[in-house]
Amino acid sequence: MAAPRRPETKELIRTLHSKRRRRRVTRLALTGSVAVAVLAAVIAGAVLAADRLGGTTQTTASVMAAVSTTVRSTTTSEAPPTTATTQQASTTTQSTPPTTSENAWLSGKVVAVDPGHQSRADYELEPIGPGSSTEKARVSSGTASPTTGTPESEVTLAVGLKLRDALEALGIEVVMTRTTQDVDVPNSERARIANEASADLAVRLHCDGATDESVHGLFTLYPASIKGWTDDIAAESKKAAQIVQDAVIAATGAKDRGTQERSDLTGFNWSDVPDILIEMGFMTNAAEDKLLESDRYQDKIVQGLVDGIVEYLKTKS
């Protein structure tokens, strides 16, 4: 039996899919317009050449027919999926969760889930850590799909809400830093939310981007040990990062890019609880981008996250 999802989760997923389809249709329409304009120029050139060479009306008609076939091919080969196809793709299965008795020990455990970024970036500066003179943007814009235009913030929110529902189904209390796109929550505030909840683990969800389109894979970040900031959570965070990384790789089959220590992330430096950030894949890689935007692959990521989080929580019991 699949883990139940809240109605708001289902509705948000439907909304995000609808937005994605609209973006794709718009991009395809623009691409088709450009193709038609180019082909129109080809037609004009072909007709002119035929006239100059004394070509017949039949020759000109043949050119027109060939170009017309090309236009039809160009404008239909990348058509968006039909509603039926989309509905079929969104019907996924998840691993059966343990029984209630098996989950009893999870009661009282708290996990903070932070879907990275938001609808609009906030470039006002804030200190990267308590009392720091170094500042960064409160919330950056994140990456986006070069194919569909889908922003990272939509993917992270979809995965975040699915993760919340799956963890709650096991009896874990989940604290979300955001449940919608239209917020303005700086990274320091996201850390504060987890701190005030005394979370056993904070999980930050992100996607990555690279100038090299061939780069792909999944990796997990954890805070470096900085005296007065993260020295009390660094070791636990590193342990959690490795456990979760291994679990998500096992669930997805993604390329394992390992774990990385970071000292410059505001969300880490303001955190007082074990904290990790998972980069779920590269939206700039066409194949991985397609996966990241699909329900089926998102569910695999969620299952891996749940497995890893539960495994980590066992070490704290």
Split into its structural domains, the chain has a count of 2
pLDDT band at 83 (very low <50, low <70, confident <90, very high): very low
Mean pLDDT over 69-75 rounds to 42
Q: Let me know if residue 91 belongs to a domain.
A: no
**SS3 category, 271:** coil
Mean pLDDT over 43-50 rounds to 56
Both 36 and 177 in one domain: the answer is no
Both 195 and 77 in one domain: the answer is no
List all residues 6 or more positions away from 99 whose beta carbon is below 8 Å from its beta carbon: none
Both 260 and 199 in one domain: the answer is yes
Least confident segment among 10-24, 121-135, 190-204, 265-279? 10-24
183 vs 157: CA distance, rounded Å: 12
How are beta strands 135-139 and 122-127 bridged, if at all? Answer: antiparallel
Mean pLDDT over 277-302 rounds to 98
pLDDT of 7 reads 79
List all residues 6 or more positions away from 34 whose beta carbon is below 8 Å from its beta carbon: none
Phi then psi dihedrals of residue 191, to 5 deg? -65, -40
Q: Let me know if residue 12 belongs to a domain.
A: no
Least confident segment among 4-18, 130-144, 151-165? 4-18
Do residues 208 and 279 make contact, with C-beta atoms less than 8 angstroms apart? yes
Could you read off the pLDDT of 295-317 as tens digits, one per residue? 999 999 999 999 999 999 999 87
pLDDT of 223 reads 98
pLDDT of 316 reads 87
Both 48 and 170 in one domain: the answer is no
Q: Let me know if residue 5 belongs to a domain.
A: no
Q: Let me know if residue 122 belongs to a domain.
A: yes
Give me the domain span that covers residue 37: 18-85
pLDDT of 68 reads 47
Do residues 241 and 222 make contact, with C-beta atoms less than 8 angstroms apart? yes
pLDDT of 41 reads 59
Give the chain's largest Cα–Cα span: 89
DSSP 294: S
Both 104 and 207 in one domain: the answer is yes
Phi then psi dihedrals of residue 9, to 5 deg? -65, -45
Q: Let me know if residue 265 belongs to a domain.
A: yes
Both 107 and 158 in one domain: the answer is yes
List all residues 6 or more positions away from 229 whose beta carbon is below 8 Å from its beta carbon: 129, 130, 223, 269, 270
More confident residue, 8 or 118: 118
Q: Let me know if residue 2 belongs to a domain.
A: no
Both 121 and 269 in one domain: the answer is yes
Q: Which two tokens stand for residue 254?
A: 């993604």
More confident residue, 29 or 59: 29
Both 103 and 219 in one domain: the answer is yes
Q: Does the structure show a pLDDT above 90 at 119?
A: yes
Q: Let me know if residue 31 belongs to a domain.
A: yes
281 vs 208: CA distance, rounded Å: 6
pLDDT band at 5 (very low <50, low <70, confident <90, very high): confident
pLDDT of 157 reads 98
Both 258 and 163 in one domain: the answer is yes
On average, the pLDDT of the chain sits at: 83
Both 48 and 196 in one domain: the answer is no
281 membership: H or E segment, kind and range: strand 275-282
pLDDT band at 78 (very low <50, low <70, confident <90, very high): very low
Both 210 and 80 in one domain: the answer is no
pLDDT of 208 reads 98
Q: Let me know if residue 45 belongs to a domain.
A: yes
pLDDT band at 10 (very low <50, low <70, confident <90, very high): confident
Both 48 and 113 in one domain: the answer is no
CATH number, position 310: 3.40.630.40
- Domain end, chosen from 50, 85, 120, is at 85
pLDDT band at 90 (very low <50, low <70, confident <90, very high): very low
